[in-house]
Structure 1
Amino acid sequence: MLADITSALGAIKTGSDIAREVASAHSLDEARQRTPELFGAMAEIQHRLAAMQLAYAALLEERDALMREVEEVRQARLERERYVLQALPQGGLVYRFKASRESGAVPHDLCVHCYEGGVKSILQPNGSHLVCPACKTKLRAKGPAAIASRRGGVCVWTL
């Protein structure tokens, strides 16, 4: 980008010098001789400015993409802060949702394997196990599935 600016300024200086020479020409023939040079310099200036505009537009797109990426990372970080790693009584780990009144979300557990891979997979009861529907990981739960209470279609295990 700096090279584009430098070359554009050089082309503007050249065009300005030629325009001064045309303006100070002593005869019409002398001015006519320098006119094509002036038009060439003006075309070069336009070319350089168009290149700078394209480079500027590319930088704006890159900035916008980076801003979107930063926002996605920020949102992912905020989402990750809503869960805490917790050990199950029978062994194994889950990411437990930190319930709060303002969230309105149903308490649930996430598969550690999927969570670390960036996938939010809610563990589901299956007999005396919790099963991840995504990676099929099985975790032994406390007692049979009957002790789980159902709320809003999501099984909440009492530990």
Structure 2
Amino acid sequence: MDVITGFNVAKQALELLKVIRDGRDEGLVREAAGQLSEKITELQMLNAELSGLYQAERQITMELREENKKIEMFALQAASYDLHTTDGGSTVYRSKKPADPDVQFHYLCAHCYSGSKVSILQPKPERSQHGGFFIHYCPLCKNEFRMNKVPAWDLPKTVRPFPH
């Protein structure tokens, strides 16, 4: 049922009330009372349906507000990062130059960032290296990123350049 149907049912109920109030014929009044009872039941069903729709709409509105709040928060955070290519050729997001010289740059996973998630890359345990670059990983999606070059003194002896 829709709202117009509800108004029509209410109008019919009012007409039946007039018949009952003005009625002189006992049979006609009884018939009108029976029909009025049906109209009241229809109105109650319509009211329950509208109440359910209203509650569903409120739930959707709350969810959309929450989602909008998350998007706004991410947009505020995202303004603090720029796209960056590491020495190892990985594409990540890097924090903008910090005002405090003691604060180091940090890097975000590009995959998670594209999904509006902030995930700070972490160095792999045991100073993991691959192809002469330190490896960092994303704690959320587990992607790995080649970051900066491993200094020559940290390379295994078999890979170190020989002095001339």
| TM-score, with length taken from structure 1 | 0.70
Match of 2:144 among 137, 141, 154: 137
Aligned to 2:42: 44
1:133 is displaced (CA, Å) by 4.7
Secondary structure of residue in 2 paired with 1:6: helix
- The one-letter code sitting in structure 2 at the alignment partner of 1:97 is S
Q: CA RMSD in A?
A: 3.2
Cα separation, partners in 2 of 1:121 and 1:26, compared to 1, 3 Å: same
Q: Residues 110 and 123 of structure 1 are in contact (CA less than 8 Å); yes or no, is this contact kept in structure 2?
A: no
Number of positions where the alignment pairs a residue of Structure 1 with one of Structure 2? 143
Task: Give per-residue Cα distances to partners, 1:26-46, cap 9 Å, x unaligned.
Answer: 255543342122111111111
What pairs with 1:89-128 in structure 2 (closer than 5 Å)?
Answer: 89=87, 91-98=89-96, 100=98, 107-116=105-114, 118=117, 120-124=119-123, 126=127, 128=133
When structure 1 is superposed on structure 2, of 7-16 and 40-49 the one drifting more is: 40-49
| TM-score, with length taken from structure 2 | 0.69
The CA distance in 1 between the partners of 2:42 and 2:145, in whole Å, is 69
Cα separation, partners in 2 of 1:141 and 1:11, compared to 1, 3 Å: same
Secondary structure of residue in 1 paired with 2:2: helix
- Unaligned 5+ residue runs, structure 1? 147-159
Cα separation, partners in 2 of 1:107 and 1:13, compared to 1, 3 Å: same
Aligned to 1:35: 33
Secondary structure of residue in 2 paired with 1:85: strand
Secondary structure of residue in 2 paired with 1:10: helix
1:53 is displaced (CA, Å) by 1.1
- Unaligned 5+ residue runs, structure 2? 154-164
